[in-house]
Structure 1
Amino acid sequence: MADCDSEFFFKHFMDSDGEDSDGDTELLVSAALWYRQHNKIRRPIRRGSIRGRAYALARNRQAGHLFLFNDYFHRTNPVFSAQLFRRQYRMGRPLFKHIMQGVAGYNDYFICKPDACGRIGFSSYQKCTAAIRMLSYGVAGDSLNEYLRMCESTCLESMYRFCTAVVQIFGSQYLRAPTAADTAHLLSVNESRGFPRMLGSIDCMHWEWKNCPFGWQGAYKGHAGGCTVILEAVASQDPWIWHSFFGTAGSHNDINVLQCSLVFSKLAEGQAPVVNYEINGLQYNKEYYLADGHLS
């Protein structure tokens, strides 16, 4: 409590002349000091359902779910078509439902259930939509408040839990290097597309780092104009991004990023599968990657 509150506590028991009416001035002073110390160590105001905290907004969670469901997930007549769904979510509707069912099975946080006050919480559709919109568009959590009826803290919590669940559920299948069977499949598919013995398409791109620390800006500022980090990825036509290397300083270029990444580690260790083909009269026994002019 502030000093003025302690003084008020003390003066409340004093006469107008400043004298103690009961002759217990020392006791009152001790009480005032104790009261002040008690307020210093008490629980913070913004913690739990306690007096002094602002009332929670009546966001009408159910209405937010119904609007979202009728717009995108209605079985017979959704407001937005499959094409518009892909544009908004950066994926198809079946893929979204597959991911939503996976994260809901991994973490019951995404399952709709009553909260501590008995009110129905947010649905799996709302929480997964919030996470995917934030990841797809890089928007702030409070930008989804009006449509999804979710506060900023819930949107952020949904995104963090969503990312953790996706890595744990799908990481072993998608976030891995190709096996021998995968390599044979990639080579056969690319050969049918006119690129014999090609393993995948490789490229690098710069991602802007708006809040790069001032002391690091010299290393992370490159030709893009601002501070960036580089993402190196290899993808098939599916597209299956089976290799990614992220975080290289933006002052690098596409060529010397290869010196930092592990994309050619198996090749350097002699563990890459042997393939034989001829290009322009020259014989080769290793697969290759299709790249643009910056990497060739």
Structure 2
Amino acid sequence: MSSSSSDGLEETLDELFDEILEYTYNDIVEAQTSKQRKWAYIERNREAGHDRLWNDYVSEYSTFSAHLFRRRFRMNKELFLRIVHDLSKNVPFFRQRREATGRFGLSPLQKCTAAICLLAYVFAAGTVDEYLRLGESMALSCLHHFTDGIIQLFGDEYLRRPTPEDLQRLLDIRGNTGFLGW
């Protein structure tokens, strides 16, 4: 009797365990699939974003002067355009490509501007959306590729230890500004 009752008990426990395991597994799977969100596509009209950026800052008769460009981007326009040009030539991410629908993607100008704005003003990545017409994840991707590209292209020339001549030049500049002491 003891072996048959223990076999029955063991069989009942195995069935109960399998049932609980199946319910728990199904609950976990349902919870995970219900939490997954599909991202809604937002038509940002990126072409208009490029046109606005071009007309405001880059064109010959731009809305904002070179002084305002330097103030907003923290560099002169020629340097900025050199960076955009060099990155679009040498880093595939910054080349403008056509999408599967035939539309052009973001321009190198938009991608570099997003990265510069994030660096210069420590913006949150989602804040460049309204003016430049690109999303948060793309802005972060632009920043990542921008920093890698700058290191790759300009690292040897600009990202080096200062020489004694560089330090003396900086000290001379500091002395000419009238600041006293350290």
Pick the TM interval, shorter chain: 0.7 to 0.9
The question of 1:131 aligning with 2:115 is answered yes
1:56 corresponds to which residue?
Answer: 41
1:32-111 mapped onto 2 (5 Å cutoff): 39=30, 45-46=36-37, 53-75=38-60, 77-111=61-95
Supply the RMSD in Å over aligned alpha carbons.
3.0
Q: Post-superposition shift, 1:120?
A: 2.0
Q: Distance in 2 between matches of 1:140 and 1:59?
A: 18
Distance of 1:142 and 1:58 partners within structure 2:
15
Supply the AA of the counterpart residue of 2:168: L
Alignment-derived partner of residue 24 in structure 1:
none
| 2:123 aligned with 1:142 | no
User: Which letter maps to 2:77?
Assistant: R
TM-score (structure 2 length as normaliser):
0.72
TM alignment of 1:257-272, pairs within 5 A: none
Aligned-pair distance for 1:119? 3.3
| Structure 1 position 201 matched with structure 2 position 155 | no
Aligned to 2:136: 152
Shift of 1:45: 3.2
Q: CA deviation at 1:41?
A: 7.2
CA distance in 1, matches of 2:90, 2:36: 34
**What amino acid maps onto 1:45 in structure 2?**
Q
Higher helix share: 2
Cα deviation, residue 38, structure 1: 5.7
- For structure 2, the residue ranges without an aligned partner over 5 or more in a row are 1-18
Distance 1:178 1:138, change over 3 A: closer
Q: Following TM superposition, by how much is the alpha carbon of 1:166 offset from its aligned partner in structure 2, in angstroms?
A: 0.6
Compared CA separation, residues 78 and 199, structure 1 to 2 (3 A): same
Determine the structure 1 residue equivalent to 2:181: 293
**How many aligned residue pairs are there?**
156
How far the C-alpha of 1:144 sits from its partner, in A, is 1.4
Q: Distance in 2 between matches of 1:37 and 1:133?
A: 42
What's the CA shift string for 1:254-274, capped at 9, x where partnerless?
A: xxxxxxxxxxxxxxxxxxxxx
Q: Distance in 1 between matches of 2:147 and 2:107?
A: 17
Amino acid at match of 1:112: Q
What does the per-residue CA deviation read over 1:236-262, in whole Å, with 9 as the maximum and x for residues that have no partner?
75x9xxxxxxxxxxxxxxxxxxxxxxx
Q: Which has the higher strand share?
A: 1
In the other structure, the counterpart of 1:19 is none
Instruction: Return the structure number with greater relative CO, CA threshold 8 A, min gap 6.
Output: 2
SS in 1 for 2:123: coil
Q: Distance in 2 between matches of 1:168 and 1:158?
A: 15
Counterpart check, 1:162 vs 2:146 = yes
Deviations 1:123-166 (Å, cap 9, x if unpaired)? 11111111111111111111111111111111111111111111
Q: Following TM superposition, by how much is the alpha carbon of 1:114 offset from its aligned partner in structure 2, in angstroms?
A: 2.2
Per-residue deviation, 1:178: 5.0
Amino acid aligned to 2:148:
T
3-state SS in 2 of match to 1:168: helix
Structure 1: unaligned runs, 5 residues or longer: 1-28, 47-52, 187-197, 203-235, 240-290
